[in-house]
Each structure stands twice: as structure tokens, then as C-alpha cells.
């Protein structure tokens, strides 16, 4: 248990917990609403915003937050209108953000240590300010999910249905995009701008394979998110390899295992028979 005695390791473990819970919770929205591409776009926008901050000299967190909100404001109405598939527009925005990120990086003078740090993240050097931001975002995400569980359940199930029964579905949808942007902003310094999205989507996608209860989906997703972070840290400590990358590999492995052992795989086979009655246990 030598791993626990270092101050930086204690911070990293705490950061992995907070980031794991926050990312995997907003991941549930993203997976349920099938908007992973929007999530990827938001995280790259945050990355570009952070790099702009690093280039011009303001706090990268502020840049990341501003850019991801801006991207959400552009994408939200496209996805919300629902009249056409917003994939093309999101694709354009996504590539623009990636282009801007590399442009800002290219404009930076000298060694680009800070930029590369933002790209890959550095969970072993989290500051107290990072931890506080992560804690605030994590607590807000969890509190909002508890408070608005029924609205979130309705909107993530079916936006038009939620709207038709009188739930302010658009407001909830924008709030979920906003929360996703805030979570990405708070965690990208620890996980890294390029890798953050795996920690959002993998735990939730893994949990989605395993349960038919949305409450359990949130809990399992958070569990997988934290597990990915902690196992990744342990492995990166033992073999002295980059932590962010290991965390992503671990979360992908969890997803693969969950998919292989998913009770829902049987359902797919059975539903082809056409009975509509399959006995997949939860």
C-alpha cells in the first residue's frame, strides 16, 4: 500500500473518484440520448478553448468552459429542432474545434509543455484548485440528477414524449448539455482533452449493457468510472506508464467485458423470433 503514502497520489485518487463520478454520470445522459458525437464535439471545444487560454494568457479552465458552452449553444438548437439529422453540422463544428486547437498550439512559442499537458492530462499533478473545481462540479451533477431524476428520465427516454406531457424538455436538454460541458471543463486537466471523452462514454455504455433500471444505470456507471480511474492509477504507478492513457484502456476493457456478459445480448437473439417476450433477467 506504498502507493497511498504520497501526497500527489492521494490527490490523484481523490481526483479519479470525483472525475470518475462526474464524467460517468453525464455519460448516462449522453449514452441514453445517443448524442455521443455531440459529447465528443463538446470535449474538443473545451480543449480548443483551454489552448486559447494558454496561448493568450488567461486561465485555460475559463477558456474551456466558454468554448464548450459556446459549442453547446450552437449544437443544442440543431439537435433540438429534430427536423433533420444534425450530424453534418456537428461534424463541421468538431473539425473546426480540432483545427483551432492545433492552430493555437502551433502559435505557441517555445516548448509546448502546457499544451501537451492539456492534451494528455496529468492526474499526478492535480492542484488543490483542480480538486475543488472537480468536487463542486461532481456534487452539482449528482445533486441535479437526484433533484431532477424524473425529468431526466423522461427526457432521456424520449424528448418528444417528455415535451408532450408538459415537461420543459428543451430546458432540461440544454441543462444536460451544459452539465456535460461543465464536467468536461472540470476534468480535462486531470484526464486530458483528448482522452476525457472515453471516461464519459465508456462507463455509461458498459452499465447500459447490464441493467434495465435507470437508477442502477447511474450507480453502475459511477462505479465503473471510479474503478477505471483507480485501476488505471494503480497500473500506471506499477508499470510507470501514462495514467490518462491507462485509465482509458481500463474503461474500454470494462465496457468490453460488460458487453460480452450482457444479459441484453440474449434479448437481441430472441426478439428476432418475434414473440416480443424475452426473459432477459436484470
Partner 1 sequence: MARADEVVIEIEDAVVSYREDVALRGVSLTVRRGEFVGIIGPNGAGKTTLLTLVNGLGRLLSGRVRVLGKPLAPRNAHHIRTRVGYVAQVQDIDPRMPITVREVVMIGRYGRLGPFHRPTQADRDVVERMIELVGMSPLADRPIGHLSGGEQQRTAIARALAQEPDIFLLDEPTAFLDWRAQREILDLVQEIHRRQRLTTLFVTHDLNALPRCDRVVLMKDGLIQGEGRAGAVLRNEVLSELYGTPITLIEHAGRQVVLS
Binding site for partner 1 (CB under 8 A): 32, 83, 147-148, 150-151, 153-154, 157-158, 160-168, 208-209, 211-214, 216-217, 264, 267-268, 271, 276-278, 280
Which among 43, 66, 42, 63 is positioned nearest to 53, based on CA atoms?
63
By beta-carbon proximity to partner 1, the closer residue of 30 and 162 is 162
By beta-carbon proximity to partner 1, the closer residue of 131 and 167 is 167
By beta-carbon proximity to partner 1, the closer residue of 7 and 34 is 34
SS (H, E, C) 115-179: HHHHHHCCHHHCCHHHHHHHHHHHHHHHHHHHHCHHHHHHHHHCHHHHHHCCCCHHHHHHHHHHH
End-to-end Cα distance, the chain: 36
What is the number of other CB atoms lying within 10 angstroms of the CB of residue 274? 7
Q: Is 31 exposed, middle or buried (0-12, 13-18, 19+ CB in 10 A)?
A: buried
Residue 153 C-beta: closest distance to partner 1, Å? 7
DSSP-assigned letter for residue 5: G
Residue 213 C-beta: closest distance to partner 1, Å? 6
Residue 261 C-beta: closest distance to partner 1, Å? 14
By beta-carbon proximity to partner 1, the closer residue of 96 and 175 is 175
Q: Is 51 exposed, middle or buried (0-12, 13-18, 19+ CB in 10 A)?
A: buried
**What 3-state DSSP class applies to 279?**
coil
By beta-carbon proximity to partner 1, the closer residue of 191 and 210 is 210
Residue 218 C-beta: closest distance to partner 1, Å? 10
By beta-carbon proximity to partner 1, the closer residue of 242 and 263 is 263
Residue 91 C-beta: closest distance to partner 1, Å? 22
Q: Are 236 and 246 in contact (CB under 8 A)?
A: yes
Q: Is 57 exposed, middle or buried (0-12, 13-18, 19+ CB in 10 A)?
A: exposed
Residue 156 C-beta: closest distance to partner 1, Å? 9
Amino acid at each position: 500500500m506504498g502507493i497511498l503514502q504520497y501526497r500527489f497520489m492521494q490527490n490523484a485518487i481523490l481526483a479519479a473518484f470525483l472525475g470518475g463520478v462526474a464524467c460517468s454520470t453525464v455519460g448516462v445522459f449522453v449514452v441514453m440520448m445517443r448524442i455521443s458525437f455531440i459529447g465528443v464535439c463538446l470535449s474538443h471545444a473545451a480543449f480548443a478553448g483551454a489552448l486559447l487560454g494558454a496561448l493568450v494568457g488567461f486561465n485555460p479552465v475559463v477558456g474551456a468552459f466558454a468554448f464548450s458552452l459556446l459549442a453547446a449553444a450552437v449544437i443544442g438548437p440543431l439537435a433540438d429542432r429534430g427536423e433533420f439529422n444534425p450530424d453534418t453540422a456537428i461534424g463541421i463544428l468538431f473539425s473546426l474545434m480540432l483545427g483551432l486547437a492545433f492552430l493555437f498550439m502551433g502559435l505557441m512559442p517555445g516548448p509546448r509543455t502546457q499544451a501537451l499537458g492539456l492534451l494528455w492530462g496529468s492526474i499526478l499533478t492535480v492542484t488543490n484548485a483542480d480538486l475543488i473545481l472537480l468536487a463542486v462540479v461532481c456534487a452539482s451533477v449528482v445533486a441535479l440528477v437526484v433533484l431532477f431524476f424524473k425529468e431526466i428520465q423522461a427526457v432521456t427516454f424520449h424528448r418528444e414524449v417528455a415535451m408532450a406531457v408538459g415537461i420543459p424538455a428543451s430546458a432540461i436538454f440544454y441543462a444536460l448539455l451544459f452539465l456535460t460541458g461543465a464536467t468536461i471543463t472540470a476534468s480535462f486537466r486531470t484526464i486530458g482533452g483528448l482522452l476525457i471523452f472515453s471516461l464519459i462514454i465508456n462507463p455509461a455504455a458498459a452499465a447500459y449493457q447490464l441493467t434495465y433500471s435507470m437508477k442502477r444505470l447511474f450507480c453502475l456507471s459511477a462505479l465503473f468510472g471510479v474503478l477505471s480511474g483507480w485501476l488505471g492509477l494503480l497500473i500506471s504507478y506499477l508499470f510507470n506508464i501514462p495514467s490518462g492513457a491507462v485509465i482509458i484502456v481500463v474503461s474500454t476493457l470494462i465496457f468490453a467485458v460488460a458487453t460480452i456478459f450482457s444479459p441484453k445480448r440474449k434479448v437481441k437473439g430472441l426478439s428476432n423470433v418475434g414473440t416480443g417476450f424475452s426473459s432477459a433477467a436484470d
